[in-house]
Structure 1
Amino acid sequence: MSSKEWREWHLTPNGWVAGTLQHDSGRNQISSPDNKVLTCIYKETIAPDAMALSGYGEPGFNQSSNVSIIWRCSNHQLISELLDKFGSCPERI
């Protein structure tokens, strides 16, 4: 069985702020900051590999991840400046 987890990240004038987190055990809902200019979601999936599913050998796991923009304000210049200052969306839960 695979594990699918994600976290929202909000870019603000103060940097990246962690938002809502989805774990296998449930969701930790966090309000987004009022001063956000961009919201991304970082997703991570961890699944057993073929060896783990076959029952032979040491089980291993395959991990994949991706980042998607789910909201942005209309001030593209500000977004660009803040991305230059703070970097791209964090790739971590």
Structure 2
Amino acid sequence: MSLSNEWTEWHLTPAGWVRGTEKEDFRTVHRDPPPDRVKTVVWRERLSSRFSKVDSGHSEQWRSDDGAAIATLEAKFGPPPRNL
């Protein structure tokens, strides 16, 4: 079991990156994905022990079939946020 395992979903929409469900060590805030999302990624920060370094990074969770829309929105809004 890790000492800390926190994450935040980020949804790419025509309005930009929108925060989704997020989990902190002792609470989870659920947010439904926006209906107009084209991509969902998760930013995760994990600390396996108090002596280890934080392991963090993005992982893609979902992607629509509209590759052109994803490319256009990624060019407009950039990469997903790197914070919880």
TM-score normalised per structure 1: 0.83
User: Does structure 1 residue 89 correspond to structure 2 residue 80?
Assistant: yes
Structure 2's unaligned 5+ residue stretches are none
1:62 to partner: Cα distance: 1.5
Q: How does 1:2-81 map to 2 (within 5 A)?
A: 2-46=3-47, 47-49=49-51, 62-81=53-72
Richer in helix (by share):
1
Once the two structures are superposed, residues 32-73 of structure 1 have per-residue CA deviations (whole angstroms, 9 ceiling, x without a partner) of: 111100000110013311xxxxxxxxxxx5211010111011
What's the secondary structure of 2:70's corresponding residue? helix
1:12 to partner: Cα distance: 0.2
Q: Which runs of 4+ in 1 moved over 3 A?
A: none
Structure 1's unaligned 5+ residue stretches are 50-60
2:11 aligned partner, one-letter code: H
Identity of aligned residues (%): 35
1:27 to partner: Cα distance: 1.0
Q: How many residues align?
A: 82
Q: Which has the larger radius of gyration?
A: 1
2:66 aligned partner, one-letter code: N
1:26 aligned partner, one-letter code: R
CA RMSD of aligned residues (A): 1.2
